[in-house]
């Protein structure tokens, strides 16, 4: 997947468009909470003087959480495809006085070309990938590259994903119909198991898979009316490029897919007409073998 790949360009545009509001409100609170969860999961691997790699760094939430632990004697490198995200990340680093040891570069993680101080050896004690490992068409290859070329022997890699009922229903239908998608439908139907498989298949040792509800309360998806279901379809499927990108189907087939999806989500609704979803958050903690 190159920088000119249509999927990369679609993701870049999506994240550039949402960059200015990405860390606002409840979603922003979740992004910070998730960053803290990932860094905490790395345990003693991230400490004063550690070198940390943050793939798909976004606005830098994980990078800054790691920076608080490694301090000026350490080094944090964040990588992302979104120019907008990185503008925010670099600005925050400067405001916090962290720009002397926290660096951000604009690259596609599937084609890494790191500055000389990071390349040609294995400098990193820990690597992170927040809510993005499922977006890589070949997640195993990327994790393997990080494990064998960038992480120190015994280094830690922490990544996460999550699953919601609307997405799971969609991917279950897609898989049953044999519809081709860029991403593996298993990320939608079996997110925790798929996360484990990616790290095991990459040759890393999975220390644990942590699972918890993403929020303190149940998310309620409104499916009471055709209008509500259409809004849910647009927001969770069509406007989420990692879900619907690259489906090689006609408009008629898409309409049929939507109809089947509506039947599926309505079957999941409670008596109040809402789907009650705890949206599970899965975190994989793994280490290199050598």
pLDDT at position 240, please? 81
Which position has the token pair 């309360």?
A: 217
Chain segment 61-104, per-residue pLDDT in tens: 999 999 999 999 999 999 999 999 999 999 999 999 999 999 99
pLDDT category at 159 given cuts 50, 70, 90 is: very high
| pLDDT attached to residue 216 | 55
Cα–Cα distance list, 129 to 175, 232, 254, 277 (Å) = 26, 27, 32, 24
State the chain's mean pLDDT as an integer: 92
Whose CA is closest to 277, among 203, 222, 208?
222
Q: Which helix (H) or strand (E) holds 161?
A: strand 151-163
Segment among 153-157, 192-196, 279-283 with least mean pLDDT? 279-283
End-to-end CA distance of the chain: 28
Please choose, from the candidates 28, 84, 73, 31, the residue with its C-alpha nearest in 3D space to the C-alpha of residue 51.
73
- pLDDT tops 50 at residue 3: no
Q: Band of the pLDDT at 217, cuts 50, 70, 90?
A: low
Question: Over 70: is that where the pLDDT of 29 sits?
Answer: yes
Domains of the chain: 6-216+279-287 (3.40.50.150)
| Residue 251 confidence (pLDDT) | 87
What's the pLDDT score for residue 161? Answer: 95
φ, ψ of residue 52 to 5 degrees: the values are -130, 135
Question: Using an 8 Å Cβ cutoff, are 269 and 223 in contact?
Answer: yes
CA dist 63 and 48 (Å) reads 14
- What's the confidence (pLDDT) of residue 35? 96
Q: Which of 6-15, 209-218, 234-243, 257-266 has the lowest mean pLDDT?
A: 209-218
| Alpha carbon distance 159, 39 (integer Å) | 10
* pTM assigned to the model: 0.92
Q: CA 107 → CA 2, 77, 99, 112, distances in Å? A: 10, 12, 18, 7
Q: Quote the pLDDT of residue 242.
A: 74
Mean pLDDT of 41-54: 98
Residue with tokens 């070329």: 149
Cβ-based burial of 222 (10 A; exposed 0-12, middle 13-18, buried ≥19)? middle
Per-residue confidence band for 1, with pLDDT thresholds at 50, 70 and 90: very low
Quick one: what percent of the chain has pLDDT higher than 70? 98
Burial of 52 (0-12, 13-18, 19+ CB in 10 A): buried
pLDDT of residue 185: 85
């Amino acid at each position: 997947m190159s920088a000119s790949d249509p999927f990369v360009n679609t993701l870049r545009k999506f994240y550039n468009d949402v960059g200015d509001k990405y860390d606002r409100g409840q979603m922003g609170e979740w992004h910070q909470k998730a960053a803290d969860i990932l860094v905490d999961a790395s345990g003693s691997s991230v400490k004063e003087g550690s070198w940390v790699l943050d793939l798909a760094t976004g606005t830098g939430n994980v990078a800054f959480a790691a920076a608080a632990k490694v301090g000026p004697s350490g080094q944090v490198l964040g990588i992302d495809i979104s120019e907008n995200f990185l503008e925010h990340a670099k600005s925050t680093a400067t405001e916090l006085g962290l720009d002397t040891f926290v660096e951000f570069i604009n690259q596609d993680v599937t084609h890494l070309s790191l500055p000389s101080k990071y390349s040609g050896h294995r400098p990193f004690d820990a690597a992170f990938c927040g809510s993005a490992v499922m977006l890589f068409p070949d997640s195993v290859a990327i994790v393997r590259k990080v494990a064998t070329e960038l992480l120190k022997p015994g280094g830690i890699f922490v990544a996460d994903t999550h699953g919601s009922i609307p997405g799971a229903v969609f991917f279950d239908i897609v898989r049953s119909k044999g519809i081709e998608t860029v991403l593996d439908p298993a990320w939608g139907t079996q997110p925790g198991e798929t996360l484990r498989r990616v790290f095991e298949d990459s040759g890393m040792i999975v220390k644990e898979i942590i699972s918890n509800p993403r929020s303190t309360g149940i998310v309620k998806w409104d499916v009471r009316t055709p209008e509500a279901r259409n809004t849910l379809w647009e927001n969770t499927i069509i406007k989420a490029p990692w879900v619907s990108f690259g489906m090689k189907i006609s408009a008629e087939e898409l309409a049929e897919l939507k109809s089947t999806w509506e039947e599926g989500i309505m079957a999941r609704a409670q008596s109040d007409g809402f789907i009650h979803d705890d949206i599970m958050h899965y975190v994989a903690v793994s280490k290199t073998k050598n």
